[in-house]
């Protein structure tokens, strides 16, 4: 069981908007630690998508956005494209575990 | 731009020690305030942070590894390494090296190496 909980799968049609949730607790997201998001296309390494809740690295389209509220964070993808089909992971720091922790991952299917 | 490349054996026997190396190119491992991490991903599962090292040799490990992990750095070769002992089948995974952002403790990882698959089997 991951410390950060994500839905196993989400799906959407091209052009639609989808969101992926990342639920933590008062030992990680809830006490103010940042949340980061990664995209992993099957067979490749994870790629940083969003850092420090809302920031996009250079080259990441503005279709991707992040937010946080309380003990949860979310990744939103608008204007869904076939190339967005991948696994998405959230990451934060957990003070009880004294470790960086990842969510269980969410598989995005573009219908 | 900075690139990372893992190297090491693909197959290791149970109870043995795994040694992996990460070679950094496109920049010095000693420049900036970056830390350098190892992260692993068992087949079909999520990611687990193993630990990181600073160029001066300072290390921090994930307590879940129960002191089995040891990370070292060779700044002259622009490399850092991971040793993981007392291997079991549960250590079978894709092992990635990655650069930490300077902010601690809630740093992010970017960029990542392509990963190297390690199978623990007799």
Taking only the tens place, the pLDDT of each residue in B93-107 is 999 999 999 888 989
Which residues on adjacent β-strands are paired with residue A94? A99
The model's pLDDT over B76-89, given as tens digits with 9 standing for 90+, comes to 999 999 999 999 99
Distance (Å, whole) CA A41 – CA B117: 17
Q: How far A17 CA lies from chain B's nearest CA (Å)?
A: 24
Residue-level pLDDT at B33: 83
Say if CB A67 and CB A74 are below 8 A apart.
Answer: yes
Dihedral, A75, A79, A80, A83 alpha carbons, nearest 10: -100
The model's pLDDT over B21-79, given as tens digits with 9 standing for 90+, comes to 999 999 999 987 899 999 999 999 999 999 999 999 999 999 999 799 999 999 999 99
The model's pLDDT over A50-107, given as tens digits with 9 standing for 90+, comes to 999 999 999 999 999 999 999 999 999 999 999 999 999 999 999 999 999 999 999 9
**Is A1 at the interface with chain B, CB within 8 A?**
no
Residue-level pLDDT at B66: 79
**Is A56 at the interface with chain B, CB within 8 A?**
no
pLDDT band at A1 (very low <50, low <70, confident <90, very high): confident
**Is A36 at the interface with chain B, CB within 8 A?**
yes
pLDDT band at B3 (very low <50, low <70, confident <90, very high): very high
Q: How far B1 CA lies from chain A's nearest CA (Å)?
A: 12
Integer-rounded Cα Rg, in Å, for chain B is: 14
The helix/strand/coil state of A94 is strand
Q: What angle do CA B7, B13, B16 make, to 5 degrees?
A: 80
Distance (Å, whole) CA A34 – CA A109: 27
- Residue carrying the six token digits 């920049």: B27
């Amino acid at each position: 069981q991951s410390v950060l909980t994500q839905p196993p799968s989400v799906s959407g049609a091209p052009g639609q908007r989808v969101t992926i949730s990342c639920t933590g607790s008062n030992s990680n997201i809830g006490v103010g630690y940042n949340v980061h998001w990664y995209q992993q296309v099957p067979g490749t390494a994870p790629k940083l998508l969003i850092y420090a809740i809302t920031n996009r690295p250079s080259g990441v389209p503005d279709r991707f956005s992040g937010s946080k509220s309380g003990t949860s964070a979310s990744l939103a993808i608008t204007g869904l494209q076939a190339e967005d089909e991948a696994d998405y992971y959230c990451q934060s720091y957990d003070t009880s575990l004294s470790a960086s922790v990842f969510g269980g991952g969410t598989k995005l299917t573009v219908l | 731009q900075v690139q990372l490349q893992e190297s090491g054996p693909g197959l290791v026997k149970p109870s043995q020690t795994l040694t992996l190396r990460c070679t950094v190119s496109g920049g010095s491992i000693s420049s900036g305030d970056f830390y350098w991490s190892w992260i692993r991903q068992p087949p079909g599962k999520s990611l687990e942070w193993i630990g990181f090292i600073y160029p001066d040799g300072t290390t921090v490990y994930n307590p879940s590894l129960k002191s089995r992990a040891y990370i070292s750095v060779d700044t002259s070769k622009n490399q850092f390494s991971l040793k993981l002992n007392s291997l079991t089948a549960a250590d079978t995974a894709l092992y990635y090296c990655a650069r930490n952002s300077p902010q601690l403790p809630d740093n992010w990882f970017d960029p990542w190496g392509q990963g190297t698959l390690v199978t623990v089997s007799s």
